[in-house]
Every structure is written in structure tokens, then in C-alpha cells.
Copies of this chain bind each other. A is one copy, B any other.
């Protein structure tokens, strides 16, 4: 009751808040149904700008965005996926193995745009502020950029799928990524026929959702809540 009487400084209007929560709730990892129509440059720029607006440790802004449209390059990355996926598939037995084989896990060739987001972890920008104790926050800054882009894309009606079934060493070779630059995320981007109402891995029975209460604990870590 108190909540409705006090409007906090800087709070968005009710419809604006609803839109933000809608993007968060309706965002999906998209692996199929990409439409063979390239994204307009202006739209892609809006998405990259959203990613680039992400928080970064010490304001170092370590994220770099490699936009990939070349079919030859996408085919080379798809080969990397196929090899890694075959190795992963071989690690599952029985019913789980059949279930894995039936999953569609990427849209590298179907999505007209791919995007590799990398992190310049050694960059001296930001003068190492915040990185003395937790240097991994450089890579984490780049993940924040990924999530910004993902939510903006959902609002634009653009599907995004994150492909992690890739050998990073081979990916570096194809995309000319030097040793000191960390590949963080390989994304497939494009218009889609539709967005699914629930996550693909939930719908297919691969994994169930964790209820929120099981993920929250108070004052200290608790294994019973965190299981």
C-alpha cells in the first residue's frame, strides 16, 4: 500500500515499467525460424549502441563487436559448431542422447547476421579501477553488453541465439582474434517468424525451471535454498 503512494525519484511510468519487464520476460534464446531478410543498418546500429551502453568496470568499455554477414565465414563457424556438437553429443547416452540429438542448437547459417562479442581484457582503459581484486569483471562487462543487446533486440522483434558449442581456439583462427582478446559470445541475429512462449529447453523437456524461492537466500548463503 505504501508503495503505491510514493513515487521514487527517477521511476518510470507504469506503461514504461511494463515494457521493460516485458522485454525481460519475453526474451528467448532463438535457434530456428530466422527469416532470410537482413537487418537494416540503422537497426543493427541501435542494437550495437545498446550493447555499448552497458556498464563496465572502471568505465573501461572493453567490448568489441565483430559483425559477420559473409556466408563463407558463417559456414566456417558452422563447421566449428558441428565438430564441437558431435563431440558433445557423444558424451550423452540412451534417452538423453536421443533428446540431445533432436535439439536444434544454433542458427548460424539461417540468421543473416552473426555477431561475435569479444573482450579486450588487458586494455588499460579505466586504469584498472575495480580490477585489482576481481579481474574477471572485464569479461563480465562484456556479458552485460550481450544482455543489453538481447533485450533491445527483443523489443525490435529481432531474435538472438547464443552459441557456446564452439571451440574458441578454432573460432579465434576464423575471425582473426588475437591471443590477448577474449571471445565472450557468439550470437546469431535476425528477424524471426515468431518468439516462443517458453524457453526451448523447457518446452522440449531437457530441463525444468527453478522456482524463484529456491534461488533466494537471506543474509548468508544457504545450501538448502540454493540447491
Are the C-beta atoms of A221 and B176 separated by less than 8 Å? yes
Chain B residues with Cβ below 8 Å from A137 are 162, 164
Q: Are A66 and B221 in contact (CB under 8 A)?
A: yes
Q: A8 with B207: in contact, given A29-B55, A176-B220, A221-B178 (CB under 8 Å)?
A: no
14 contacts between A and B (CB under 8 A): A8-B192, A9-B192, A21-B50, A21-B155, A27-B55, A59-B207, A69-B218, A73-B220, A103-B129, A133-B167, A136-B139, A143-B144, A144-B146, A178-B223
Given A9-B193, A177-B221, A129–B52 Cβ distance below 8 Å? no
Interface residues of A in 154-207 (CB under 8 A from B): 154-158, 162, 164-168, 175-178, 181, 184-185, 191-195, 199, 201-202, 206-207
Q: Is the CB of B23 within 8 A of A181?
A: no
Q: Mark A113-156, 1 if CB is under 8 A from B, else 0.
A: 00010101000011111111110110110011011101110111
B220 touching A157 by the CB < 8 A rule?
no
Asked if A68 and B219 make an inter-chain contact with CB atoms under 8 angstroms apart, the answer reads yes
Q: A64-B217, A133-B164 are in contact. Are A157 and B210 (CB under 8 A)?
A: no
Q: Inside 8 A of A52's CB, which chain B residues have their CB? A: 210, 212, 215
Instruction: Say how far A38's CB is from chain B's closest CB, in angstroms.
Output: 10
At the interface, yes or no: A94 with Cβ under 8 Å from chain B?
Answer: no
Chain B residues within 8 Å of A101, by CB: none
Interface size on A, residues (CB 8 A): 123
A129 in complex: contacting residue of B100, B143, B219, CB < 8 Å: B100
Note all chain B residues with C-beta closer than 8 A to A222: 176
Q: Which of B21, B53, B134, B166 contacts A168 (CB 8 A)?
A: B134
Most chain-B Cβ atoms within 10 A of its Cβ — which of A45, A50, A221?
A221
A100: which B residues are within 8 A, CB to CB? 129
Q: What 8 A-B pairs are tightest by C-beta distance, nearest first?
A: A11-B157, A8-B157, A19-B19, A16-B19, A143-B143, A59-B201, A147-B147, A64-B226
Are A151 and B151 neighbours in the complex by a CB distance under 8 Å?
Answer: yes
